[in-house]
């Protein structure tokens, strides 16, 4: 899979797909193109679920391993986050509205060991991504059920996805099934395959090692909503 990082190399930065007001320019990270579309990018097949058997497992550095049903998560306090999102393939979308459970509210339901410093998000199909626990304590981190006041579509991560607005969007895993708390950091799927471990879009942390240009048409060729 390292080949995906290689395929994204070697072209100029994109032109914006829509006009951007000068007062909003500071919200667009370097090398990104603003769009009103919502491109669909993922590896592998879109999974199918039966909500009667679906669950979210919490394990690792916690006092007690837990599993949550969909209904249990929906019965938690619900919040809305409106945020900008930025994909490593160079598209950005402003003011994306999500509804779900704030990660900080979700943490009230479990007891995390004080030694836990990192989190691995496990998702289907056979995907994972690592994030420092400190990053997930921000007020805009969401376990999302809905986008734009409608349930997530299958291709955007139904029934549950993570939203981490301040990092490139591969960290916002779709189809999440497990949250593992860890003492030490461990690389996830894309981090093992040439992508940056931290993924700050304003620092252009796209790839491990040197910053690499991404073809301007990579995301425009994808399906979108």
Number of domains in the chain: 1
In a domain? residue 224: no
Question: Does some domain include residue 136?
Answer: yes
Q: Is the pLDDT of residue 168 over 50?
A: yes
Angle at alpha carbon of residue 130, lines to 129 and 136, rounded to 5°: 115
- Which of 38-42, 61-65, 108-112 has the lowest average pLDDT? 38-42
pLDDT digit string, tens, across residues 93-140: 999 999 999 999 999 999 999 999 999 999 999 999 999 999 999 999
Residue whose pair of structure tokens reads 């579309």 in the numeric block? 37
CA distance 223 to 154: 13
Domain that holds residue 11: 2-16+28-203
Q: Indicate the Cα dihedral angle 182, 184, 186, 191, nearest 10°.
A: 110
Burial class (CB in 10 A: 0-12, 13-18, 19+), 210: exposed
Give me the pLDDT at residue 19, please: 64
Per-residue model confidence (pLDDT) at position 73: 98
- Give me the pLDDT at residue 216, please: 54
Interval 30-56 mean pLDDT: 91
Residue 215 lies in a domain: no
Q: 81 pLDDT exceeds 90?
A: yes
Residue 137: closest CA among 74, 97, 181: 181
Q: Average of pLDDT values for 157-186?
A: 98
Largest CA distance in the chain: 50
Report the pLDDT value the prediction gives residue 3, as an integer from 0 to 100. Answer: 56
Beta pairing class for 66-69 and 142-147: unpaired
How high does pLDDT run on average in the chain? 89
Sort strands 33-34 and 91-102 into parallel, antiparallel or unpaired: parallel
pTM: 0.87
User: The tokens 């916690």 sit on which residue?
Assistant: 62
Report the pLDDT value the prediction gives residue 7, as an integer from 0 to 100.
53
Residue 36 lies in a domain: yes
**Preceding amide of 40 cis, omega within 30:** no
In a domain, 172, yes or no: yes
Helices assigned H by DSSP within the chain: 2-7, 70-74, 103-106, 133-136
The bridge status of strand 142-147 relative to strand 127-132 is: unpaired
Does residue 11 register a pLDDT over 50?
A: no
Lowest mean pLDDT among 19-28, 82-91, 215-224: 215-224
State the CATH number of the domain containing residue 111. Answer: 3.90.420.10
The answer to the question of residue 212 being in a domain is no
In a domain, 195, yes or no: yes
Q: 132 lies in a domain?
A: yes
Tell me what pLDDT residue 224 has: 57
- Tell me: pLDDT of 208 over 60: yes
Q: Choose among 117, 107, 121: nearest CA to 170.
A: 121
């Amino acid at each position: 899979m390292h080949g995906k990082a290689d395929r994204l190399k070697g072209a100029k930065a994109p032109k914006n797909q829509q006009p951007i007001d000068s007062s909003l320019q500071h919200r667009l990270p370097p090398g990104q193109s603003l769009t009103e579309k919502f491109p669909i990018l993922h590896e592998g097949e879109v999974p199918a679920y039966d909500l009667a058997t679906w669950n979210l497992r919490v394990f690792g550095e916690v006092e007690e391993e837990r599993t949550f049903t969909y209904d249990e998560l929906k019965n938690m306090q619900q919040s809305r986050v409106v945020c900008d999102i930025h994909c490593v393939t160079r598209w950005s979308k402003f003011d994306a509205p999500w509804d779900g459970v704030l990660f900080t509210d979700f943490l009230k339901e479990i007891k995390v060991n004080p030694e836990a410093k990192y989190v691995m998000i496990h998702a289907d199909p056979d995907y994972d991504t690592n994030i420092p626990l400190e990053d997930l304590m921000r007020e805009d981190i969401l376990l999302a059920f809905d986008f734009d006041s409608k349930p997530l579509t299958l291709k955007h991560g139904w029934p549950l996805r993570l939203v981490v607005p301040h990092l490139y969007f591969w960290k916002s895993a779709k189809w999440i099934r497990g949250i593992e708390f860890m003492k030490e950091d461990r690389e996830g799927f894309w981090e093992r395959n040439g992508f940056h471990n931290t993924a700050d879009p304003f620092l252009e942390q796209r790839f491990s090692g040197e910053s690499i240009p991404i073809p301007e048409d990579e995301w425009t060729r994808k399906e979108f909503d």
